[in-house]
Amino acid sequence: MKQEKTPGVLRKLFWSMFVLSAFTFGGGFVIVSLMKKKFVEELKWLEEDEMLDVTAITQSSPGPLPVNASVIIGYRMRGVVGSLVAILGTILPPMIIIFIISMCYEQFRTNPYIAVALQVMRAGVAAVIFDVVINLAKNVVKTRSILYIAMMVIAFILTCFFKVNAMLIILSCLGIGILDLLIDLYRKKGAAAK
């Protein structure tokens, strides 16, 4: 594993996670899109495939997705210390915000301006996710593998329209991947025998 040795990586890691975590309204996949934009496109710390692998691992492990992702990315950058720093960056914003709100939550819950702002912000959040998904989907299409493109389309239809559990989708694709590997090995063996 290639660790990042440049100075200031830990500080950058902490603040990146802190800012991303402070703005992830609505579920774990939002932060994955933000992390992809930040760590792959902006900072160029990770490769795109790596980010997708990390997402698959975080989705199949127990616990909050953003925390899981920060553990792995932190570990990738600076080992266990990196993990701890990334986790701290991830959990501090929600902790501070909830701590403040829990002292005056009646006013917060019933404030119409906050409700309107949160409703319209969904449009912005959705746009960010679609922007990331367009880039990712383009790369899947570029592989020119009918299997992968079909898997992407079918997985989307199943999760989006039929609410099939994400875990089940990942496990099925893991099965397809292992099958693909076995077929590959079998073919190579056949070719070697000739």
Partner 1 sequence: MSLLIKLFFSFIQVGLFSVGGGYAAIPLIQAQVVDLHHLMTMEQFTDLITIAEMTPGPISINSATFVGTQLGWQLGAWGGPVGAILCTLGCIIPSFIICLTLAHFYYKYRSFSGVQTVLSALRPAVVALIGSAGTSILMLGLFQADIQSFHWADFRWVEFIMFGVCLFILRRFKPSAVAVILGSGVVGTLIYLGIGALTGQGITGLL
Subset of 58-97 contacting partner 1 (CB under 8 A): 58-68, 71-72, 75-76, 80, 83, 87, 90-91, 93-95, 97
> Which residues between 105 and 134 bind partner 1 (CB under 8 A)?
105, 108-109, 112-134
Q: Which is nearer to partner 1, 9 or 125 (CB)?
A: 125
| Residue 4 C-beta: closest distance to partner 1, Å | 13
- Return the residue of 107, 178, 186, 187 that touches partner 1, per CB under 8 A: 178
- Return the residue of 53, 81, 107, 186 that touches partner 1, per CB under 8 A: 53
What torsion do the CA atoms of 170, 134, 49, 37 make, to the nearest 10 degrees?
A: -110
Residue whose tokens read 């490769």: 47
Q: Can you give 171-190 as a three-state secondary structure string?
A: HHHHHHHHHHHHHHHHHHHH
Q: Which is nearer to partner 1, 11 or 60 (CB)?
A: 60
- Return the residue of 10, 32, 46, 85 that touches partner 1, per CB under 8 A: 32
d(CA 8, CA 38): 16
Q: Which is nearer to partner 1, 14 or 68 (CB)?
A: 68
d(CA 14, CA 27): 20
Sequence length of the chain is 194
d(CA 64, CA 71): 11
- The first and second tokens of residue 108, run together, are 């917060």
Give the per-residue contact string, 128-167, with partner 1 (x = CB under 8 A; - = no). xxxxxxx-xx--x--x---xxx-xxxxxx--xxx-x-xxx
